[in-house]
């Protein structure tokens, strides 16, 4: 099957016997989850700090404490960079896996 006619993500066919070599599978890596977790944790902590300042401490001006906004922006930036690096790494692994699969199919067609 030509490369452009295949679906981007494959599903496994449970119960059917395998024909030929096993298919290559690529999953989302841990670095992507680390970046997303960092980003969402920074946002969640910022919301909690604002809520505690308003509800518990009774501060008249809601918002982050002095120096909180640069810290939040730094954490969001770090999380975004880690996320994008992980995506790039996963894309390279995915491309390599597709090339390996193409070579295996060509080897099976021309013994």
Query: What is the chain's mean pLDDT, rounded?
Result: 81
Q: Is residue 14 part of a domain?
A: no
- pLDDT tens readout for residues 9-57: 555 555 555 566 556 666 778 899 999 999 999 999 999 999 999 989 8
Give mean pLDDT, residues 52-77.
91
- 111 versus 34: the higher-pLDDT residue is 34
Tell me if 74 is assigned to some domain: yes
Say if residue 82's pLDDT is above 80: yes
5 in a structural domain: no
Q: How many separate domains does the chain show?
A: 1
On the 0-12 / 13-18 / 19+ scale of CB atoms within 10 A, 25 is exposed
- Within a domain: 18: no
| Domain assignment of residue 81, yes or no | yes
Cβ partners under 8 Å of residue 43, min gap 6: 76
Whether 90 is in a domain gets the answer yes
Cα 56 to Cα 49: distance, rounded to the nearest angstrom: 10
Q: Whole-angstrom Cα distance, residue 102 to residue 83? A: 29
- Residue 68 lies inside a defined structural domain of this protein: yes
In a domain, 6, yes or no: no
User: Helix H segments across 17-67?
Assistant: 30-51
Q: Which domain holds residue 98?
A: 29-109
Mean pLDDT, to the nearest integer, of 73-92? 94
């Amino acid at each position: 099957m030509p490369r452009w006619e295949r679906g981007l993500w494959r599903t496994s066919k449970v119960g059917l016997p395998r024909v030929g070599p096993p298919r290559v599978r690529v999953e989302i890596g841990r670095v992507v989850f680390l970046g997303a977790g960092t980003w969402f944790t920074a946002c969640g902590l910022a919301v909690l700090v604002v809520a505690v300042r308003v509800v518990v401490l009774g501060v008249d001006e809601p918002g982050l404490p002095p120096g909180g906004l640069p810290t939040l922006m730094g954490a969001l930036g770090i999380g975004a960079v880690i996320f994008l690096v992980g995506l790039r790494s996963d894309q390279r692994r995915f491309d390599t896996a597709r090339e390996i699969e193409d070579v295996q199919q060509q080897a099976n067609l021309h013994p």
